[in-house]
Each structure stands twice: as C-alpha cells, then as structure tokens.
C-alpha cells in the first residue's frame, strides 16, 4: 500500500511531499478566498490586538465555502489515517500569504506541537501550496528528522541542515507537527500563499469550534473531521447513549 511506504518516510524524515494534486480551478478559488480572509482577519487583528499579523488568517472554515469544499474532498485521507492510526480530526485551519519583505511569527524556527511526545505521532501538518513554492519567494524550511528531537536546533544548525520544500501550486506537504520548520523570507514582489492545516488524533482538543462554523447536513467524513464523533457529553442522557449515538464514539482513540 502506498500509504505504508510513505509511513516509513514520515517516520524517518518527518515529511512527505505530494506534488501537483489540486486542480487549477480549486487552487484559484482557494487563493481568492484566502486573500479575502486575510483582509478580514487583519481588520480583526488590528481592532482586537492593536496590530496586524502580516499576511496571516486563522480558522478559515466559515470564511468561504471553498474551504469546506477542500475539507470534504478528504485529501490524503488514507495517509492521515495510517499515520494517526485511525480516525482523525481537524485541529486548526489557517492561511499564510508570506508577503514580500515582511516578517511574521511563521518566519521563526518553530514547531506546531508544543508538547513533545517521543515515538508518538499526535498531530500532522498539511500545507497546501496555493502559489509555486520557490527559494526566492520563501518556500518553507524543514529540518528532516527533527521531529525525533525534544530540543530546538540553534538557528545556525537549522539553516545549515534544513531544506526548502519547493513545489508547484496545488502541491501538498504533509509533515509531523513535531518537526522544526520556518517560512522562508519572500524576496520577490508577489505573495506566496499557502493553507496551513493540522490534523490530530480525535482526543486532542481542537483550537476552534469548527463544528459551529458549518450549517446543515454534513457528510460522514466532515462530521468525523470536524469532531462530531468526539464531542464531550453535557448530560447523563447524552452519556448513556447507545454506541452509535454517543457523543464520543467508539474507535476515536
């Protein structure tokens, strides 16, 4: 099975690249919706935090139907299930434009899972490239194998050993959330956009109530990914429900 082969790669180097997966029309729709979301979130950031976090938007589900479409299409579902050993949920759904000549928190060397658990993959990042990722526009730097290490590399060690992951728009980069990484600096005149999703095992609390952002009947996949099968019961009636109606269903880890 292909996902089994990739499992070895992600276990050892911490990441796998899937080039040119999304159609051009989906990629274009996501670019437009991300531009709008960045403008909207920028206004909120200024109003509430007193500053704009350059080129960043958070919790995109609910900020444009195309973001729900992307989730519904279940990209890399087999791989996510293999690496997270069963059903998984969305932990966060953000976007980055990496604007020219600006610094943002994503340029710092960081990892997205703050709690380091050795030998246990709790969360995976899915980076959806919406523009071509190139050395000059700040393709993401990843330090292969660093998901196995508890401590942060020094900047000198990081930039001596890390590599920039370059690929065409529409490519998907999946990596263990323990890996040390950084957005590159954009030295061109145009934005380099990407969506930054994380998926976790269902028992990890998501960063946002994504179920509350969607309306109407959802597919089984979307219910799973948005955490409908991993909710916290609020009454004994909800707790004493048959397995198929439980708030926290069997098989969710």
Sign of CA dihedral 95, 105, 211, 225: positive
Question: Phi-psi bin for 102: left (phi > 0), alpha (psi -120 to 50), beta?
Answer: beta
Are 22 and 170 a contacting pair, CB within 8 Å? yes
Instruction: Specify the residue, 87 or 95, whose C-beta has the smaller distance to ligand AKG.
Output: 95
Residue 193 is a binding residue for ligand AKG (CB under 6 A): no
Structure token pair of residue 88: 């998984």
Q: Rounded to the nearest whole angstrom, what is the least distance from the CB of residue 248 to ligand AKG in the complex?
A: 28
Residue 191 is a binding residue for ligand AKG (CB under 6 A): no
Binding string, residues 142-181; x marks residues near ligand AKG by CB under 6 A:
---------------------------------------x
Residue 64 is a binding residue for ligand AKG (CB under 6 A): no
Residue 91 is a binding residue for ligand AKG (CB under 6 A): no
Q: Rounded to the nearest whole angstrom, what is the least distance from the CB of residue 83 to ligand AKG in the complex?
A: 18
Binding string, residues 7-46; x marks residues near ligand AKG by CB under 6 A:
----------------------------------------
**Cα(72)–Cα(65) distance, integer angstroms:** 11
**Cα(75)–Cα(18) distance, integer angstroms:** 10
DSSP state of 235: S
What are the C-alpha distances in Å from 118 to residues 23, 122, 206?
37, 10, 21
- Sites of contact with ligand AKG (CB under 6 A): 96, 98, 106, 112, 140, 181, 183, 194, 196
């Amino acid at each position: 099975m292909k996902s089994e082969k990739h499992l070895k790669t992600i276990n050892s180097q911490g990441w796998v690249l899937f080039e040119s997966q999304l159609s051009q029309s989906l990629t274009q729709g996501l670019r437009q919706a991300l531009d709008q979301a960045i403008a909207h979130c920028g206004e909120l950031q200024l109003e509430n935090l007193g500053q704009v976090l350059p080129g960043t938007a958070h919790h995109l589900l609910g900020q444009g139907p195309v973001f729900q479409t992307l989730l519904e299409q279940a990209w890399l579902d087999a791989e996510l299930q293999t690496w997270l050993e069963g059903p998984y949920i969305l932990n966060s759904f953000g976007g980055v434009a990496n604007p020219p000549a600006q610094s943002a928190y994503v340029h710092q060397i960081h990892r997205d899972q703050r709690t380091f658990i050795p030998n246990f993959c709790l969360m995976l990042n899915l980076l959806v490239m919406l523009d071509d990722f190139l050395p000059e526009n700040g393709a993401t730097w990843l330090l292969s194998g660093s998901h196995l290490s508890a401590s942060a590399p020094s900047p000198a060690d990081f930039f001596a050993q890390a590599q920039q992951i370059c690929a065409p728009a529409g490519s998907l980069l999946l990596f263990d959330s323990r890996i040390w990484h950084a957005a590159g600096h954009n030295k061109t005149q145009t934005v380099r956009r990407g969506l930054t999703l994380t998926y976790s095992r269902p028992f990890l609390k998501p960063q946002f109530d994504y179920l509350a952002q969607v309306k109407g009947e959802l597919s089984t996949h979307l219910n799973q990914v948005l955490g409908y099968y991993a909710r916290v019961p609020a009454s004994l009636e909800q707790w004493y429900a048959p397995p198929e109606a439980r708030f926290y269903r069997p098989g969710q880890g």
